[in-house]
Amino acid sequence: MVPDDDPPVFADSAALARLRRLPNVEVVSHIRRPRSMYELIARLSGVHTMIVARTTTRVTNTVLEGASPGLKHVAVWGTAIDHVAVEAARRLGVVVTNTPNAATVAVAEHALALLLALARKIPQLDLRVRDGEWSGGQLTQLAGRTLGIVGTGAVGIRLARIAEGIGMRILMSSMSETIENSESSNWTEVSFTELLENSDAISLHARLTTDTRSMFGSSEFARMKPTALFINTARGQLVNSRALAEALANETIAGAALDVFNTEPLDRNSPLTRLPNVILTPHIAANTSEALNVSLNMVIDNVIDFLRDRVRHQVS
Q: Of all residues in the chain, what percent carry a pLDDT higher than 70?
A: 97
Q: Which residues does 17 contact at the CB level (< 8 Å), separation at least 6?
A: none
Identify whether the C-beta of residue 77 lies closer than 8 Å to the C-beta of residue 51. Answer: yes
Q: What is the arithmetic mean of pLDDT over 278-305?
A: 96
Between CA 240 and CA 262 the distance in angstroms is 8
Task: Give residue 187's pLDDT.
Answer: 94
Between CA 307 and CA 108 the distance in angstroms is 33
Q: What is the arithmetic mean of pLDDT over 162-177?
A: 90
CATH level 2 (architecture), domain 104-280:
3-Layer(aba) Sandwich (3.40)
Predicted confidence (pLDDT) at residue 29 exceeds the cutoff of 80: yes
Residue 102 main-chain phi, psi, to 5 deg:
-70, -30
Identify whether the C-beta of residue 181 lies closer than 8 Å to the C-beta of residue 157. Answer: yes
One-letter amino acid for residue 167 of the chain: G
Task: Give residue 178's pLDDT.
Answer: 53
Predicted confidence (pLDDT) at residue 179 exceeds the cutoff of 80: no
Same fold, 14-102+288-307 and 104-280: yes
Residue 135: pLDDT band (50, 70, 90) is confident
Q: What is the arithmetic mean of pLDDT over 202-213?
A: 95
Active site residues: 235, 264, 283
Task: Give residue 102's pLDDT.
Answer: 94
pLDDT higher at 216 or 137: 216
Task: Give residue 316's pLDDT.
Answer: 78
Q: What is the arithmetic mean of pLDDT over 48-67?
A: 96
Residue 229: pLDDT band (50, 70, 90) is very high
Task: Give residue 136's pLDDT.
Answer: 87
Q: How many other C-beta atoms lie within 10 A of the C-beta of residue 277?
A: 16
Q: Domain limits of the chain?
A: 14-102+288-307, 104-280
Predicted confidence (pLDDT) at residue 184 exceeds the cutoff of 70: no
Q: What is the arithmetic mean of pLDDT over 56-74?
A: 97
Task: Give residue 180's pLDDT.
Answer: 52
Predicted confidence (pLDDT) at residue 235 exceeds the cutoff of 60: yes
What mean pLDDT value characterizes the chain? 95
Which fold would CATH assign to domain 14-102+288-307?
A: Rossmann fold (3.40.50)
Q: What is the arithmetic mean of pLDDT over 97-122?
A: 97
Task: Give residue 186's pLDDT.
Answer: 76
State how beta strands 146-150 and 255-258 pair: unpaired
With a threshold of 0.85, does the pTM exceed it? yes
